[in-house]
Amino acid sequence: MQIIIAGGGKVGAHLASQLCGDGEKVTIIENHHEAIARLRRTCPECTVIEGSATDPLVLERAGVHMADALAVVTGDDEVNLVIAMLGKMEFAVPRVISRVNDPANAWMFTPANGVDVAINQAEITVRFIHEGMNLRDMFTLMKLGRDEHSIVQATVNPGSKVDGASLADIAFPAQTIVVAVERGDNLTVPNGRTVLRAGDEAILFCSREGRDAIRRLFA
């Protein structure tokens, strides 16, 4: 894939390093000289373009017409929104992902404004802290869709209802699928004969209503 990252700060640099390590073709747009020098040292596999991604000419220099995805990760929400709208509406980039710095601005980062996926850092942090305080051994890894289906990770506690039971014999709530089971260093794709043991980590797809039932099963 050909990916453009708008913003070469800590988030952009880390993202670029990860993507380049995965073999993706990455171009970073950054307008601060010190950051550009650092990016060229730390991300030598990436192409670094000097300029502002709010300028259509700079986006064209970065190859926006050929980009498969545009990741907008500056520290300014107004700038991020302008870049996202340019990428989607002016250049028809197939996938536009934007960072949201201030949760009060999250309502603007929608497909109607050019953002396919909005990453609200504050919301993600709050969600994980809330999960950690209230659900203890179950964490929401990802929420999917507007009906709030989720992918959750649940730990099998000793003596719980699922400890020692095969998946076929467990009364999971409706719309629940066990996607994977991690035991030690081994991750397996389970079937109905898979038996859960204390300490196992199960990855499940479930509805919002099913999350509490799953927590009770694993607790």
Which of the four pLDDT bands, split at 50, 70 and 90, describes residue 147?
low
Within its chain, how far is the Cα of 171 from the centroid? 30
pLDDT at 5: 95
Which amino acid appears at position 86 of this protein? L
How much is the pLDDT for 127? 63
Instruction: Indicate if the pLDDT at residue 187 is higher than 80.
Output: yes
3-class secondary structure, 71? strand
The pTM (predicted TM-score) of the whole model is 0.64
Q: Which of 34-38, 67-71, 150-154 has the lowest mean pLDDT?
A: 150-154
Q: Assess contact for 96 and 69: CB atoms under 8 A.
A: yes
Q: What is the pLDDT of residue 50?
A: 94
Q: Give the pLDDT of residue 43.
A: 87
Task: Report the distance separating Cα 130 and Cα 103, nearest Å.
Answer: 16
Helix and strand numbers (H, E) in the chain are 6, 11
pLDDT band of 143, cuts 50, 70, 90: low
Summarize pLDDT for 81-138 with one digit per residue, the tens.
999 999 999 999 999 999 999 989 989 999 999 999 888 877 766 666 655 555 456 6
pLDDT in tens, 65-78: 999 999 999 999 99
* Structure token pair of residue 24: 């993706």
